[in-house]
Every structure is written in C-alpha cells, then in structure tokens.
Amino acid sequence: MSHHERGPSIPFQPASRLPDAAFEILAPEGRELRLFSAGVEQLATGLQWAEGPVWFGDGRYLLVSDIPNDRILRWDDCSGAVSVFRQPAGNANGHARDAQGRLVSCEHLGRRITRTEFDGRITVLADRYDGKPLNSPNDITCGPDGSIWFTDPEFGIASDWEGLRATPEQPHGVYRIDAITGELQRVIADLAGPNGLAFTPDGKRLLVVESRAQPNRLIWSYAVGGVAVSDKRLLIDAEGPGAFDGIALDTQGRIWCGFGGGGQPGVDPALLDGVRVYSPEGKALAHIHLPERCANLCFGGAKNNRLFMASSHSLYALYVNARGFVR
C-alpha cells in the first residue's frame, strides 16, 4: 500500500543472499521446487487481515480481500500499483473464478455467495439452505463439471470484526452449487471449521481443511461422484502446533497450504508462519517462511509459477519451480 494507508505493517527485508533461506527444504523432493535466484517479495502491506487471493491472467492483476476493512484490493502486475477494486465488499473472504471466468466470492456480511457479472452487476448464488441463512461462507472453488463448492464455518459471525455477530443456524458445512440448475446442496456436515478446499488435478477427489479439529488441524480427502462425496480419508495431519487455512494445488497434485501457529503455549509461531508444501500423498516437502501467518494463497503470473500469499497484514509473492493447476 502507499505510505498514507492506515493499518499495521510488518517490516520486511528481502533476502540478501541466494538461495533465499526462507525456502526451507523438508524432504529431498522439495528441493526441486525452489528456484535458486528467486526470493520472497512483499507486494503490499497495511491490510487488516488479508485473505482470498485470486489471479486474473487476462488482466494481469490479482484480487485480495481485506476482510475487516470491508474491501477487495487489486494488485496490478504491470505497474505494481495497489488500488481498491470494491468497497464496501460485504466483508468478502475467499474468491475463485467460475467456468466462464467470472469472479465468485464468499461474503461474510450478507452470509452469501455472489457472482460478479462481466458488466459489474452482482448476482446472489446462495444465501440460505433449507430455509435458514448460511453461517459465513469462507472459501470457494470450482469443480470439473462447473459446479461451485464452498465451505461455511461460523468464523464471520462469531464477532463484529469480519462481519456481524449472529447465532449460527446451520452446522459447519461444505456446499455445492449446481452449474446448470443452481441448486444448493450440503455435501459435508461433520467437520469442525471447514476452511480451504481444492480439487485434485484429475477432478476425482476433493481436499478440505478441518481448521478446528482437535487436537491437530487436518486435511481430508473425499472421492467425488456427481453431487455426492464419499470415501473420506485423512490425508494430512498438522502434527501438533501447526494450523492450516487456505490451500492450492499445482499441476503435479502437490498441496501448498497457508500455515501458521495454532496458538499452543511454548511454541514460537514465527517458526511456523508461512506456507507448508506437501506431496499428493501428504508428505511434507518444504516450508516457505514468512514474517506473518499465511491465510490463503494462489498461483498466478504469466507462466502460473508465481505463488501469491495473503498473509495477515501483507501480500507476498515467490516464483517457484511448479505451475499452479488451472482447470
């Protein structure tokens, strides 16, 4: 952000030596993901809580939510300028692009899923299920058949910080919006704090973060068959103090996870803040250390090999030796 923007900022110093020590190798297979001469960059700061980055390659820009400030910011790849894309923004959180390339968004304030049409109009895709309001849609992705899937914990209605305090009327859930009929279906209702979600490149399985699981945060894998999910498998256990948030997959099915300390006593969160990378089978490969906890991330750039990381008060980027999966 420009110097006059309000909000906290984190002092950031780019690496003076290469390779950037912020990219920690956790397994031999993780070494190939690091580019020797690429370092972590801070693209913007001064946000209250950064979330939901989504890349628009056709316009060479990135959108990122600043939830408490009720705005969506736009970072321009050509100029590096940061501007306000939408304000008010319904305390928007996660974003994705649908099969036609339109922006679809999770909004805490209206407790709804919206689509931004090509002419700028806003269409409400979902705000109620079984006659009752949704909780606070959090993250969103698109299925191989064009359907829209989203998580709906109660984080956005737990206080007045990221929306409006309210009493939840639904269980924490994962939902599917049919691409043809627009019908809303709850497909998962047994997770505590469902958060980030993504499809595997073959479209056969859905990965969902359970961010309030106890004692450890988890990532589950489900088989997807039309409108239903089955074959629930535990894919990744954060194994103690680590906590997952948003996730993104690359073309090889590796899982790049927004990561941070889970708040356990005696654990320095600075050692955990950043991005943890796993193999498709759930083996930890690498960790990208950041000065702030990373909430969500996406791939973008001209070659889709630039990782954008929405992290607390800032937006960071790093070129990696992988390409994000785009359906």
- pLDDT tens digits for 247-306? 999 999 999 999 998 667 777 878 899 999 999 999 999 999 999 999 999 999 999 999
What was the pLDDT predicted at 241?
87
* Token reading at 199: 């499809």
What was the pLDDT predicted at 218?
97
Contact 108, 165 (CB under 8 A): no
What was the pLDDT predicted at 262?
67
What was the pLDDT predicted at 9?
53
The structural domains of the chain, ordered by start, are: 23-319 (2.120.10.30)
What was the pLDDT predicted at 211?
96
What was the pLDDT predicted at 7?
43
What was the pLDDT predicted at 4?
36
Residue with tokens 């705005």: 71
What was the pLDDT predicted at 226?
84
| C-alpha dihedral (233, 261, 247, 211), degrees to nearest 10 | 50
What was the pLDDT predicted at 6?
40
Q: What is the pLDDT along the chain (327 residues), one digit of tens a residue?
A: 443 344 445 679 999 999 999 999 999 999 999 999 999 999 999 999 999 999 999 999 999 999 999 999 999 999 999 999 999 999 999 999 999 999 999 999 999 999 999 999 999 999 999 999 999 999 999 999 999 999 999 999 999 999 999 999 999 999 999 999 999 999 999 999 999 999 999 999 999 999 999 989 999 999 999 899 999 999 999 988 899 999 999 999 999 999 998 667 777 878 899 999 999 999 999 999 999 999 999 999 999 999 999 999 999 999 999 999 998
What was the pLDDT predicted at 239?
84
